[in-house]
Every structure is written in C-alpha cells, then in structure tokens.
Copies of this chain bind each other. A is one copy, B any other.
Amino acid sequence: MFDNKKPAAEEFPLDKLASRRRFLRDSAVAAAVAGTLAACKKAEGAASVAVAATLEHGMPNAAPTAPPSPREKADAMDKMHEAVMKAFPAKSEGKGNQLLVPRIDDGVKVFELTASEIQWETAPGQRVAAMAYNGQVPGPQIRVREGDRVRIVLRNQLSESTAIHFHGLETPNDVDGVPFVTQPPVKPGETHAYEFTVPNAGSHMYHSHHNSTKQVGLGLLGAFIVEPKKPRRIERVDRDYLFILNDGVHGYTFNGKSFPATEPLIAKVGEKIRIRYMNEGMMIHPMHLHGMHMTVIDKDGWPQPAPWKCDTLNVAPGERWDVIVECDRPGTWAFHCHILPHAESDHGMFGMVTALVVQKA
C-alpha cells in the first residue's frame, strides 16, 4: 500500500486492496512480515539481528565475513521497516466489528451473541487465545435507532460464567449486566436475554462485566451504536468509521488487529467522515491523525457544548469520542496512537497504526 511517490488516487482503488490481500496471503512478503513481527514480539536482540541479516544478505546461516558497516546496518533496519509498511494492509484471518443484522420477532430486533473461546489472528502469523462473541474480536457491531425495542440473547459457550453490560446505555437496572447486583452470572452452557427499549443515542459499547479484566482483555466486547431519531446537521457524513482500541494480552490493537493487519480508512477528497473512538483497554491512547485536524463533536455519545478541533485526541479506558474529519488533503496519512512504543519498534511500525487514504475525486 505504501508505495512511495505514487499518487494516492491510483494507489487505493478498493478493488485493488482486495487483490493485494490475496497476494499477501500467499506471498513471501507476508512470511517476512510474520517473521519480523514474531522477532519483535520476542524482543530479543539475537532474533532481530538474524532477521536483519536475512533481509540484508538473503543467507541467514552464511559464515560471517566482515562486520556490517553503519550504512549496512541502517539499510538492514530500513528493510524491516519497509517490509512491514509495504505489507499494509496485510491479510489476516478473521474480521471483527461486522454489522450484525437482527431478526425481527414481533417488532423486537433480536441480536444473538454466542460467547466462545477461539484462536484469533491479530497480525500475520500472530495467533492468540481469545474470547469472542460470534467468533469475532471485537464482537459484531450492533446498530439500532433510538427508541427501538431490542433483545440481546447471550449464549455462553465459555468455560466460565459471563454477563453483558451495555456501557453508556441508560437501560433499566435489571438489564445492566452486573452479576450478583442486577442478575445472576450466566453459567457455561446457559442462555440469557436482555430486552429493553433503546434509550439514548450515541456511540456506546457492550462488553462482559464478569471477570472482566480477563474477559474484556481477551475480546468479549463490541460496539453498540444508536442512531438518533433526528440527526444533527454536523452528523451528516459520507462515511462512518470506528476504532475500538485495546491493549491487553492481544497487544496494541485497532478493532482486534495490529499493524500491518489493521484496515485503512478510505475517503475521497471533499468527503466528510465520522470516526468513533472507543477504548476497551487499560491505558490511554492519544490518537494522532496526520495532515488534517479532527473536529470533536461527541463524548460518550453526548454532544459537546460546542465542537472543537485537535489533531491528537486522548482516549481513556471506557471513553468514547466522536470526531468529524473533512478530507480535503489528498494522500496517504499515517494515523496512530502517539504513545510511540504502542506504534513503532526498531523493527518498524506495529500495533496501533493505520492510515487515512484520501483519494483524488
């Protein structure tokens, strides 16, 4: 994706993205990326030197001749950086945050969520133990309208109990999802239904509220977006993007994926996009967009008294922030958490990194 000096418009037609992914699945580049990331994960100097040597000389087990010059060392490091950049967006197995279409039962929108233990690929070759709703990390996106009647049916196929809290929704107390406070825990093998009329609009979340440090860390979380009955003028956008931030044992992820397996945001020059940030992790993540500012409109689903501008927005655990970006500057713009060790190591960018690609119209 990141081919230097090519115009962005040619670079990112959406159909090409798909073919690039197919290519990467089978290619040696993907293997190199996986190796680089694995070495990075181990954080061992030895592994890193080996990878660098491989990339530089193509012969990992070759007998040493002369020690590398500074320029050779720099080139070796840069090749690792380049391999990761060029692999973006890398194919990985599984996709979270897919829109969940409800079935309608007598006017009630019914969403079925099955919690189970799975393997999840956060980046090429990086498979981790996960807990997931419907096999996705994050769980499927629930998207309804203010005033809808909804029923969320939770099937527990985990080996431990669980429960769902609808974070930000002003529901009646008996569907608040806190075991031993508003309900018994949902035991392994059991099913529990939460039914309520959707009260307040905005960018909200659903997640486990039982053994939650572990269960949310492993992936039992998702977006619960409530469209307002009367959208404000500022909400009329061309595209609507979502970042669920997480930072547990899965590493630093956007929507369950680490760079280069994160998804780019695509827009055309002149388009207005909305970005919804949701932090399900344990750390702050100040999100920095290159090249264009963000106009902050909502906090936790509530309008700010007046929109305000920034280029780096600090998102704390449990918070949601909605911003608007007027995509008036063509190019491929880096977009990442600005805690630098969440985004780059000496092996190149990783973790909380993606790009906003503004294509010429």
Show the binding face of A for B, using Cβ within 8 Å: 2, 4-5, 8, 70-71, 73-75, 77-78, 81-82, 85-86, 159-161, 165, 167-168, 170-174, 176, 178-185, 187-189, 200, 209-214, 216-217, 282-284, 286, 288, 290-293, 299-302, 304-312, 314, 316-320, 329-334, 338-341, 343-346, 355
What residues on B are CB-neighbors of A73 within 8 Å? 159-160
The verdict on A211 contacting B319 (CB below 8 Å), with A180-B2, A181-B334, A309-B302 known, is no
Residue in chain B with minimal CB distance to A286: B316
Contact A176 B333 (CB under 8 A): yes
Contact B213 A340 (CB under 8 A): yes
Cα–Cα distance between A85 and B75 once the two chains are bound (Å): 47
Tell me how far the C-beta of A323 lies from the nearest C-beta in chain B, rounded to whole angstroms.
12
Tell me how far the C-beta of A255 lies from the nearest C-beta in chain B, rounded to whole angstroms.
19
Tell me how far the C-beta of A83 lies from the nearest C-beta in chain B, rounded to whole angstroms.
9
What residues on B are CB-neighbors of A339 within 8 Å? 282-283, 317
Contact A180 B86 (CB under 8 A): yes
Cα–Cα distance between A317 and B313 once the two chains are bound (Å): 10
What residues on B are CB-neighbors of A314 within 8 Å? 284, 314, 316, 319
Contact A211 B77 (CB under 8 A): yes
Residue in chain B with minimal CB distance to A306: B305
From B209, B300, B304, B332, give the contact of A293 (CB < 8 A).
Answer: B300
